[in-house]
Amino acid sequence: GQQLNQSPQSMFIQEGEDVSMNCTSSSIFNTWLWYKQDPGEGPVLLIALYKAGELTSNGRLTAQFGITRKDSFLNISASIPSDVGIYFCAGHSGGSNYKLTFGKGTLLTVNP
């Protein structure tokens, strides 16, 4: 089945620093989604990407759909303490495959 490798598994950064994380897939995806999850809550959608090469921003967050369609990147600029949480990438290949495949997540800790 489809597999998503998300890295890094965890990050410890200082407030104000920029952050980068990425996901790679074993197969081509038509859609990439990035979510953030706070403890005890469900994932919240941050950015959705639908086209290879697409670069989309949401405030301090920027995500890109890789040209090969097998990877995606999320960048957070000027991190703040409320950025703490687990970030997940997810993707699907469309067609009759209705389920999203999720990465294992990147745990982000921001030291004030």
Residues that bind another protein (CB under 8 A): 30-31, 33, 35, 40-45, 48, 88, 90, 92, 94, 96-105
Q: Minimum CB separation from another protein for residue 22, in Å?
A: 16
70 or 104: CB nearest another protein: 104
CA distances from 112 to 12, 24, 73 (A): 11, 30, 25
Q: How far apart are the first and last CA of the chain?
A: 41
Give dist(CA 2, CA 75) in Å, integer: 24
Q: Minimum CB separation from another protein for residue 91, in Å?
A: 11
